[in-house]
């Protein structure tokens, strides 16, 4: 079993526990009480790079990254640094997150929020919106086409933006065919956990220029961000480098507003 398959097994167990405690009908009823979802696309399409800053305590590949006793305080720093969106990892077993983190961050900032998890079931999309998320991640490698489309449509019907994550050419084709406006290229292969920094430049030309590309994983600072921007990224999604620095606001600001040099291939 690949690492991804293994993670999804645990995610399904956890989600069935939550569904037993709170019915889907209850979650749907709660949707009436949340503010309309914020649209992250105008900021992501604007000139100059954007940062999607992640609240991440640990990962299967790196182990412990940061304690983050107060996710809201970290999110405040990200917002102050000019993050276009904030990603909150809600997976519990491997990443040490929870939906409670998302709720806490939502109460603190007005920035668009991404629920970063292994979404495989309608229930998770509904609970994301009910918790105040504005975006959800859909990982192409974890979903068959019918499920990918159903989750994408459900998210759209709730006003959620989907970040559709790919790590090879086949998955990129599936994301493009789906009509995904926001495509994330994850340099970390979730099947092996290896990082391949060249993946972004390989896959970017396969994505039509009207879509917004996000470079995900292994971005350690402005130099990496600039390289991705030159290869066609409008945004970088950064976790580890931001949760480990002493000044997350400054770190976000340093990766924001970068523009591709004239010589870079326009997408």
Ligand X SMILES: O=P(O)(O)OC[C@@H](O)[C@@H](O)c1c[nH]c2ccccc12
Separation of alpha carbons 169 and 175, rounded Å: 10
Q: Tell me how crowded residue 112 is: count the other CB atoms within 10 A of its CB.
A: 22
> Catalytic: 262?
no
101 forms part of the interface with ligand X (CB under 6 A):
no
Region from 41-49, 98-106, 227-235, 236-244 binding ligand X, contact rule CB under 6 A: 236-244
Which among 49, 91, 127, 165 is annotated as catalytic? 165
Separation of alpha carbons 155 and 147, rounded Å: 12
Which among 49, 50, 56, 59 is annotated as catalytic? 56
Strand 161-166 relative to strand 85-89, pairing: unpaired
**For residues 116-155, which are near ligand X according to CB under 6 A?**
116, 139
Which among 87, 127, 186, 240 is annotated as catalytic? 186
Figure out which of the listed residues 101, 134, 189, 240 binds ligand X, where binding follows CB under 6 A: 240
What is the smallest separation between the CB atom of 109 and ligand X, expressed in angstroms?
19
Q: Say how many residues touch ligand X, by CB under 6 A.
A: 15
Region from 11-19, 103-111, 174-182, 211-219 binding ligand X, contact rule CB under 6 A: 211-219
Write each residue from 44 to 73 as x if it is in contact with ligand X (CB under 6 A), else as -, in one continuous string: ----------x-x-----------------
Please say whether the dihedral angle defined by the alpha carbons of residues 56, 57, 59 and 61, taken in this order, is positive or negative.
positive
Residue in this structure with the two tokens 């790919």, named with its chain if needed: 166
199 forms part of the interface with ligand X (CB under 6 A):
no
Separation of alpha carbons 231 and 265, rounded Å: 7
DSSP symbols for 52-74: EEEE-SEETTTEE----S-HHHH
- The two three-digit tokens of residue 126, written as one number: 């509904």
For ligand X, the closer of residues 106 and 116 by Cβ is 116
Asked if 185 and 166 count as a contact pair (C-beta separation under 8 A), the reply is: yes
Q: Look at residue 262 and give its three-state secondary structure.
A: coil
> Catalytic: 61?
no
Region from 36-44, 148-156, 215-223, 249-257 binding ligand X, contact rule CB under 6 A: 215-223
Separation of alpha carbons 244 and 156, rounded Å: 34
Q: Look at residue 133 and give its three-state secondary structure.
A: coil
237 forms part of the interface with ligand X (CB under 6 A):
yes
For ligand X, the closer of residues 82 and 197 by Cβ is 197
238 forms part of the interface with ligand X (CB under 6 A):
yes
Separation of alpha carbons 79 and 82, rounded Å: 5
- The two three-digit tokens of residue 70, written as one number: 């107060």
Separation of alpha carbons 142 and 120, rounded Å: 7
> Catalytic: 70?
no
Which among 91, 171, 216, 240 is annotated as catalytic? 216
> Catalytic: 13?
no
Region from 41-49, 140-148, 210-218, 247-255 binding ligand X, contact rule CB under 6 A: 210-218
225 forms part of the interface with ligand X (CB under 6 A):
no
Instruction: Report the catalytic residues.
Output: 54, 56, 116, 165, 186, 216-217
Give the binding site for ligand X (CB under 6 A). 54, 56, 116, 139, 165, 186, 216-219, 237-241
């Amino acid at each position: 079993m690949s690492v991804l398959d293994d993670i999804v097994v645990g995610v399904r167990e956890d989600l069935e526990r939550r569904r037993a405690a709170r019915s889907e009908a209850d979650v749907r009823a709660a949707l009436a009480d949340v503010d309309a979802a914020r649209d992250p696309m105008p900021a992501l399409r604007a000139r100059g790079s954007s940062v999607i800053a992640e609240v991440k305590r640990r990962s299967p590949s790196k182990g412990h990254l940061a304690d983050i006793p107060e996710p809201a305080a970290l999110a405040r720093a990200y917002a102050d640094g000019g993050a276009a969106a904030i990603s909150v990892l809600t997976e519990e077993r491997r990443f040490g997150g929870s939906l409670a983190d998302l709720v806490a961050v939502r109460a603190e900032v007005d920035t668009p929020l991404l629920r970063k998890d292994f979404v495989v079931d309608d229930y998770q999309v509904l609970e994301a919106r009910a918790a105040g998320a504005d975006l959800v991640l859909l990982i192409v490698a974890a979903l068959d086409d019918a499920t990918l489309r159903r989750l994408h449509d459900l998210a759209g019907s709730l006003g959620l933006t989907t970040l559709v994550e790919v790590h090879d050419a086949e998955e990129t084709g599936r994301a493009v065919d789906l009509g995904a406006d926001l495509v994330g290229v994850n340099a970390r292969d979730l099947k092996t956990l290896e990082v391949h920094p060249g993946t972004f430049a390989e896959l970017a030309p396969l994505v039509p220029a009207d879509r917004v590309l996000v470079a995900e994983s292994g971005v350690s600072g402005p130099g990496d961000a600039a390289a991705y921007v030159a290869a066609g990224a409008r945004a970088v999604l950064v976790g580890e480098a931001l949760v480990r620095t002493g000044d997350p606001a400054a770190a976000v600001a340093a990766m924001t507003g970068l523009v591709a040099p004239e010589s870079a291939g326009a997408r």
